[in-house]
Structure 1
Amino acid sequence: MSSNAALRLDATTPATAAVETGSHRCCDLALDMLVTQRGDASAEVERLLTDDPGCVFGHCLRAALIVRAESAASRSALAASIAAIEAACSDKNDPMRQHALAARAWLEGDSAHAAKLYGAILTNRPHDVLALAVAHALDFHLGRRRVMRDRIAKVLRRWTAAVPGYASVLAMYAFALEENGQYRRAEKIARRALALDQGHPGAIHVIAHVMEMQGRVHDGLAFLAAVESAWGEGTGLSVHLAWHRALFHLDADDPDGALAIYDEQIATAVSADIASLADGSALLWRFQLQDIDVGERWRSLADRWAMHNLAGARPFYLVHAMMAFVASGRPIAAMRLAEALESTRGNGASSLSPEDALVAPLCEALLAFARRDYTACVEWLKRVRHIAHRCGGSVAQCDVIHLTLTEAALRARQARFARTLVAERTARKPASRLNRLLKLRLGTLPRYHQWQAPVVA
């Protein structure tokens, strides 16, 4: 019996027992890569399935990776893996069959039901870290922060340091705590995960988030530098942690340092996946809101976005693609994307998830900002600011909405509203240099140089 049997599923089931022969070591390696975010789990799974196309757990891993990433471009591969699992597991109570059922719910467009089904697996199998990892990711993308936290809390008592994968479960729980504003406890648990698994990328990510949310700029820079050997290359969080480092530099009034990180670790990343592009857009948009010239970087980033088929992509990514298109002066690409977003409106906003309901107004606001119509930008963002925290990203990522609204209100000279927004930001993060600068600008709301963005017709 593999020592990592508890990591997979219940090792007493016939389906899992089959994994013990032939490909079980590859399965264990791929699963470890998936939950720790070390290495390229997707590539490992594809190698596994090439060597052993009938490996049922390999198909569960592939399905989990696709659903967790909500990769619309991989829908055909997901459908093939679901079919393979269903053909091999006729018993509906088989845990792998349950994984297939949950993945099919996502494939059919119901992320919430998929999260429910993955979560249901944990009722009888609290050590099924694969189901936990996917449910955790779906809860996060759906903006259900309390559910994300409480789902892990319910199974955590069944885990101990003796069970493989415990550090990854702690890292997931710590992230959920951080997203719910429980910063001290989140950092404590993340550091516990690091004590068990030195250099765990997920735990490092949590601590970076805590320091970002608390405005601990110098602590954040020192921490990321101290552990860079664990996250700088070869992890699923390498680009994203570089983004966090760049944010620290921006808030430390070091835009040159932030741009250097963008050039060295984000723009030139080997991985050109859509999540990395979103990090690039999110960073460059913050430069533009501060009137910092980024040269040709927007144009290069927009070129990379244009290489992706965005049909069916998560709204979170569509908004970040729009940032690149409007900032680089690509009116045709921007307008095509805006027209494609009409389908997200459905039959009414009430039928949409918060992330879906946000995407069209956010893109309209970005177009308005690029036209220097700051009043229109404010009006678009006002409509959805009450659900902006559920943009499909972290609290730190969703902050770009509040930043854009604040900057637009200042430029539109809406003094009273701008004061409210700056007060909100300062209350959340009083140590932030950026928030102090915004507060200073409230004094007279003087005329100042406006970002000369390419006008989008």
Structure 2
Amino acid sequence: MALKDALGLTYSGATEAGFSSYARAVRELQCFIGDPVGSADRAIAEDPGFVMAHVFKGYLFGLATEREATLVARACHEAALPLAATARERAHVAALGHLAWGRWHEASRILEDVAIDHPLDLVALLTGHQIDFFTGNARMLRDRIGRALPAWRSDMPGYHAVLGMQAFGLEEMGDYARAERLGRTAVELEPRDGWAQHAVAHVMEMQSRQKDGIAWMRANPDAWTRESFLKVHNWWHLALFHYDLGEVAEVLALYDGPIYGEASTMALNMVDASAILWRLRLGGVDLGGRWTALADNWHKAGGGNYAFNDAHAMMAFVGAGLEAPAKTLLEAQREAMRGSDDNAA
């Protein structure tokens, strides 16, 4: 049992019903909106033998940079291993296995090969791009997408996401004019594309165009915040523009509102909270009890899973003046460095 999508890619073990939920999950990830995990779960419930549904769910958890999520990614990999699959799908299963066991660079390399052979494989591009982001590989953020872009046309589903990813990669490599142009085009095509919105914000941050940045972020916030799981990070970008202008009251209002008014325990959101409070601390701003609330959630999260998260957890422990969790985190880091995965390095 296999079917083909609108771009000609084959999906083993999928029925129309299961593929409909899978396609929804992919669309949600393109914009960073909705509940792609829920959509992937529905695809799996419809078609337990649908290998890419298991892989896609595994990618979502593998990219969460949290210990418990990594265990789910490994379970998804185990579920996918025995299922019928094409060569392209088997490569995805292998990439998920490497990601789930902390071999991010090897997962990146396999997904690079998949996208070279199948440049219209949007999941390979989306997942590879995020791995490049988490590993700080600026050149691949640009070139992974740049290689695939000539195969895409503006009438293809997901084209806005490819433009948005290319915009971010160009920005990370300092090609600001092209990055802004492509990012704006992506947002025009799909106003809810939070990653493209974020790419243009990066350009303006790098060029110290704070007022342009504030105007860009405040022009249509409903589009990039509604049902978005990237919204905290994009609010953080708006806060940075205000911070750069010395508008501390605006920064604190954003922190106490959309950034951390609801005290999230998701690492990606806590990173943003730490990053803005640390800037304010360095500027001598009295932050009251904000550090303590944030440090409490970092303490619950544990350490040693992803070095970037640990750095931001330590900011919170130092900011709150908490010696015991700081020492615990240092020990977790020492333990992590004894590992053999990419995080150890």
Same fold (TM over 0.5): yes
Q: Distance in 1 between matches of 2:188 and 2:258?
A: 27
Question: Which residue matches 2:79?
Answer: 84
C-alpha spacing 1:229/1:289, structure 2 compared with 1 (3 Å): same
Match 2:28 to one of 8, 28, 33: 33
What CA RMSD, in Å, does the superposition of the two structures yield over aligned residues?
A: 2.3
C-alpha spacing 1:26/1:352, structure 2 compared with 1 (3 Å): closer
SS at structure 2 position matched to 1:127: coil
Match 2:180 to one of 187, 192, 202: 187
CA apart distance, 1:75: 2.7
Does structure 1 residue 241 correspond to structure 2 residue 239?
A: no
Match 1:336 to one of 324, 328, 335: 328
Q: Distance in 2 between matches of 1:50 and 1:296?
A: 45
Question: Which residue matches 1:325?
Answer: 317
C-alpha spacing 1:282/1:73, structure 2 compared with 1 (3 Å): same
Q: Distance in 1 between matches of 2:268 and 2:36?
A: 16
Match 1:209 to one of 195, 202, 215: 202
CA apart distance, 1:178: 0.6
Structure 2 contact 18–44 (Cα < 8 Å) conserved = no
Q: Distance in 2 between matches of 1:69 and 1:317?
A: 11
Match 1:64 to one of 59, 72, 89: 59
Q: Distance in 1 between matches of 2:300 and 2:38?
A: 21
CA apart distance, 1:74: 2.0
C-alpha spacing 1:321/1:228, structure 2 compared with 1 (3 Å): same
Question: Which residue matches 2:225?
Answer: 232
Q: How does 1:130-145 map to 2 (within 5 A)?
A: 130-145=123-138
Q: Distance in 2 between matches of 1:182 and 1:279?
A: 25
Which structure 2 residue ranges, 5 or more long, are not aligned?
none
Question: Which residue matches 2:302?
Answer: 309
CA distances 1:346-386 after superposition (whole Å, capped 9, x unpaired)? 49xxx996x755xxxxxxxxxxxxxxxxxxxxxxxxxxxxx
TM-score under structure 2 normalisation? 0.93
Larger Rg: 1
CA apart distance, 1:50: 4.4
Which shows bigger deviation, 131-140 or 283-292? 131-140
Q: Distance in 2 between matches of 1:96 and 1:3?
A: 13
Structure 2 contact 17–46 (Cα < 8 Å) conserved = no
Q: Distance in 2 between matches of 1:4 and 1:29?
A: 13
Number of aligned residues:
344
Moved segments of 4+, more than 6 Å:
none
- Write the letter of the residue equivalent to 1:108: W
SS at structure 1 position matched to 2:136: coil
CA apart distance, 1:197: 1.5
Q: Distance in 2 between matches of 1:280 and 1:186?
A: 27
- Write the letter of the residue equivalent to 2:44: L
Structure 1 contact 247–283 (Cα < 8 Å) conserved = yes
SS at structure 2 position matched to 1:69: coil
Structure 1 contact 325–333 (Cα < 8 Å) conserved = yes
Question: Which residue matches 2:14?
Answer: 19
Question: Which residue matches 1:118?
Answer: 111
SS at structure 2 position matched to 1:97: helix
Question: Which residue matches 1:449?
Answer: none
Q: Distance in 1 between matches of 2:5 and 2:265?
A: 32
C-alpha spacing 1:277/1:45, structure 2 compared with 1 (3 Å): same
Structure 1 contact 63–103 (Cα < 8 Å) conserved = yes
Q: Distance in 1 between matches of 2:255 and 2:310?
A: 21
C-alpha spacing 1:163/1:270, structure 2 compared with 1 (3 Å): farther
Q: How does 1:430-449 map to 2 (within 5 A)?
A: none
Question: Which residue matches 2:276?
Answer: 283
Question: Which residue matches 1:162?
Answer: 155
CA apart distance, 1:344: 4.0
Does structure 1 residue 171 correspond to structure 2 residue 164?
A: yes
Q: Distance in 1 between matches of 2:315 and 2:38?
A: 30
CA apart distance, 1:188: 0.4
Which structure 1 residue ranges, 5 or more long, are not aligned?
358-457
CA apart distance, 1:306: 1.8
Does structure 1 residue 292 correspond to structure 2 residue 280?
A: no
CA apart distance, 1:133: 1.0
CA apart distance, 1:137: 1.2
Structure 1 contact 4–164 (Cα < 8 Å) conserved = no
